[in-house]
Structure 1
Amino acid sequence: MTLVQLRHFIELARLGSFARASERLCMTQPALSRSIKALEDELGQLLFDRMGKRIELTPFGTEVLTRSQTLVEEAEQLKHCGRSLSAEDSGRIRIGLSSGPGAMLSTAILSHFSQHYPRFHLDIVRANTLHLAQMLRDRQLDALIVDIRLLRPAPDLKVTQIVEMDGVFMCRPEHPLALRDRISFEQLANYPVCSTPLSEETARILVERYGEEAHPEVLVKLTSDEISHLIRVTEDTDAVLLAIRASAPHLHELPVWPALKTKARFGLVTVAKKSDPLFLPVLQHIMQTTMK
């Protein structure tokens, strides 16, 4: 078997269609069929169940897919072993960003690659941490930058470049609470609080600081995985946003007493037990310079 055959197999498994896969691979459907058939003959089992125009991976095909992805990824890394990403490199990078990192890093990452690595195809996917982690495991993404407190520790994932950022309550500058020097939790709770999904650790800190009424299931009235929507609501209404300070620097930070003193912990996540992608130092640099 060859790496070319494995790439054909991976693309067909990803798209689930000979027509779409052959178009993406710039080859004819008969040529793709012959490549897959030759791979199945060598492996001695079917990789796909054919049901008319539909295809599905067999259990054996699912196992082969995981190993094939690892082999192809390692082969790509081997070509670039010992050197850094250069402006002449090309390829496709798929990066998953959860809400906070998405708000801070999307523009920075896109701009950096546009300026320094213009031949790359860069895909940014915004979603919640758990969904992004599954996409990484399925090899639909190459790396994630997420709130690692929402990510369960697992041996198949590697977390690096951890950045801690302050979480605070914020409002629009014209908000009724904005002119107060000190705000009690009771005063804060008179207004709808919005946030992205919060970790169990943050929930514990809220309850320790302010009591059971501060548990997110009670306190938070508006929840979304997309923080930009929550920022807009906070700008336009009397809602109070609970989020990392850097996600909305133009909003007013509320001097709630006692102080919340919680931090979000963001990390760069890749698949464990494989060579680091060539682009990883680039992402680490962007995180270091942007997430301050």
Structure 2
Amino acid sequence: MDTRKLEYFVEVVRAGSFTRAAERLHVAQPAISKSIQKLEDELQLILFDRSEKSVTLTPEGKVLLGHAQSILGSIEEARKEMEELRGLERGEIRIGLPSMYGSFYFPQIIKEFKKKYPSLLISVVEEGTLQVRKLIERKEVDLGIIDFDHAGPEIEVIPLLTEEMVACFPIGHPLAGRKSIPLQEMIHEPLILFKEGYFQRNLIMETSQTANIVPNITFSTNQLSLIRSLVAEGIGVTLFLRVVADSDPQLRSVSLNPPVFLHLGVGRSRNTYLSKASQIFLEFLKDRISHGFSTSASATLTTKSIPYGYPDA
């Protein structure tokens, strides 16, 4: 069913005659009559009672009028919504963020982006880098901050920065004064970790399996602030990005031996259409990369060209 025929049909009803409808639509009157005739032939129903001077709807025409108005209304809403999206008057960006990155890098990025695009909605899902990768693969988020060394072939990644992962101890801990510490040695300490799906926990578990050691995990949570507080109180030790550890005067950071670095990038599915709003946000991030957006002296901005889509380790 041609929507133009429906437009003519509704306008004839509004105008009360074929002639006035043609005048309003700036169309020749025979074209209107021919279109309505074709519509009736297609439906095999009579829509207008033409026996009177004024055009009136038949019962069948009245039923079609409700559907036609609904269809044309939906089309108009879709048109307006597409116009709004083109003009970035609305749109949602779904982003997966690890806790440590989100807490220390993202607030300023969001602040600057919202100043430029105040009408766009940003929805954040807070998970570990490994879980964020799965969210991207399942198309539950549009963009996600992940470890680009473990991106997978289905994900395109733009490198953001490289940050050191360090051991964190409370003030006065026997290991707090060390220049470096093997991760295998740290595993024997009471560990306070993020839950599954975080790079930090995965690193501990892989190292434990390799060394055939059962890790001493005493507490698990996804709350960054809670982990910091528990470590500061001497309940246990943890692994943090250096930017997190060095921002808390109650914690002491020690490099791992050998050192461990987390290479962060913004990932998107190669097989999914990226909305206009998400495209704009991605371009915004690229611009921040080119100008440097690190909030930590220890963070190294990654600008070199690398192949996208590393296989899983």
Matched, 1:218 2:215: yes
3-state secondary structure, aligned to 1:254: strand
Matched, 1:234 2:234: no
Give unmatched runs, 5+ long, in structure 1.
3-29, 40-74, 81-87
Deviation at 1:142, TM superposition (A): 2.0
Matched, 1:290 2:287: no
Q: Which amino acid aligns with 1:278?
A: I
**Cα distance change on mapping 1:202 and 1:187 into 2, 3 Å:** closer
8 Å CA contact retained: 1:93, 1:142? yes
Aligned counterpart, 1:194: 192
Deviations 1:10-51 (A, max 9, x none): xxxxxxxxxxxxxxxxxxxx98xx65xx99xxxxxxxxxxxx
Deviation at 1:223, TM superposition (A): 3.4
Runs of 4+ aligned structure 1 residues displaced above 6 Å come to: 184-187
**Cα distance change on mapping 1:179 and 1:138 into 2, 3 Å:** closer
Larger Rg: 2
Aligned counterpart, 1:254: 254
Cα separation, 1, equivalents of 2:260 and 2:122: 33
Q: Which amino acid aligns with 1:234?
A: V
Deviation at 1:104, TM superposition (A): 2.3
Cα separation, 1, equivalents of 2:203 and 2:133: 20
Aligned counterpart, 2:145: 145
Aligned counterpart, 1:163: 161
**Cα distance change on mapping 1:190 and 1:283 into 2, 3 Å:** same
**Cα distance change on mapping 1:237 and 1:284 into 2, 3 Å:** farther
**Cα distance change on mapping 1:232 and 1:285 into 2, 3 Å:** farther
Deviations 1:182-227 (A, max 9, x none): 767787456312333347984598469x9433xxx52544333443
What TM-score results when the alignment is normalised by the length of structure 2?
Answer: 0.53
Cα separation, 2, equivalents of 1:161 and 1:109: 16
Deviation at 1:245, TM superposition (A): 1.0
8 Å CA contact retained: 2:187, 2:216? yes
8 Å CA contact retained: 2:190, 2:218? yes
8 Å CA contact retained: 1:103, 1:228? no
Q: Which amino acid aligns with 1:104?
A: F
Deviation at 1:143, TM superposition (A): 0.8
What TM-score results when the alignment is normalised by the length of structure 1?
Answer: 0.56
Cα separation, 1, equivalents of 2:149 and 2:200: 6
3-state secondary structure, aligned to 1:290: coil
Cα separation, 2, equivalents of 1:219 and 1:228: 21
Q: Which amino acid aligns with 1:93?
A: I
**Cα distance change on mapping 1:183 and 1:278 into 2, 3 Å:** closer
Aligned counterpart, 1:119: 119
Aligned counterpart, 2:282: 280
Aligned counterpart, 1:243: 240
Deviations 1:204-253 (A, max 9, x none): 98469x9433xxx5254433344333222212224111122112322311
3-state secondary structure, aligned to 2:161: strand
**Count of residue pairs the alignment pairs up:** 214
**Cα distance change on mapping 1:182 and 1:149 into 2, 3 Å:** closer
Aligned counterpart, 1:97: 97
**Cα distance change on mapping 1:133 and 1:181 into 2, 3 Å:** closer
**Cα distance change on mapping 1:212 and 1:286 into 2, 3 Å:** farther
Q: Among the aligned pairs, what percent are the same residue?
A: 19
Q: Which amino acid aligns with 2:97?
A: L
**Cα distance change on mapping 1:147 and 1:185 into 2, 3 Å:** closer
Root-mean-square deviation over aligned CA pairs = 4.3
3-state secondary structure, aligned to 1:278: helix
Q: Which amino acid aligns with 2:294?
A: T
